[in-house]
Amino acid sequence: MRRDLAPPAVVAVWVALVLGLDTGATLTQQRLLGAGTWLLLLVLLARESRATRVQVGVVVAFASVVEYVFAGWLGVYVYRLENVPAFVPPGHGLVYLAALCLSRSGWAHRHSRPLVAAALVLCGTWAGWGLLLSPRPDVLGAFWFGCLVVFSRWGRSPLLYAAAFLVVSYLEIVGTSLGTWAWQPHDPTGLVSIGNPPSGIAGGYAWFDAAALAAAPWLLRRWPGRPSAAPAQELALDRGERVP
Q: Among 65, 166, 170, which Cα is nearest to 122's? A: 166
Does the pLDDT at position 185 exceed 80? yes
CB atoms within 10 A of CB 16: 15
Identity at 166, one-letter amino acid code: L
Q: What is the pLDDT of residue 231?
A: 59
Mean model confidence pLDDT for the chain: 91
Average of per-residue pLDDT across 170-196 = 97
From 53-57, 117-121, 153-157, the region with the lowest mean pLDDT? 153-157
Does the pLDDT at position 48 exceed 50? yes
Phi, psi of 183 (to 5 degrees): -85, 140
3-state secondary structure of 181: strand
Does the pLDDT at position 87 exceed 90? yes
| pLDDT tens sequence across 10-35 | 999 999 999 999 999 999 999 999 99
This model's pTM is above 0.85: yes
Contacts of 154 (CB under 8 A, 6+ apart): none
Q: What is the pLDDT of residue 244?
A: 41
Does the pLDDT at position 230 exceed 70? no
CB atoms within 10 A of CB 120: 19
Identity at 52, one-letter amino acid code: T
Q: Among 144, 156, 149, 141, which Cα is nearest to 116's? A: 149
3-state secondary structure of 151: helix
Does the pLDDT at position 229 exceed 80? no
Phi, psi of 198 (to 5 degrees): -60, 140
Residue 47 DSSP symbol: T
199 with 141: CB under 8 angstroms? yes
From 3-12, 126-135, 181-190, 215-224, the region with the lowest mean pLDDT? 215-224
Q: What is the pLDDT of residue 13?
A: 98
Q: What percent of the chain has pLDDT over 70?
A: 91
Q: What is the pLDDT of residue 9?
A: 96
Contacts of 18 (CB under 8 A, 6+ apart): 33, 36, 37, 87, 91
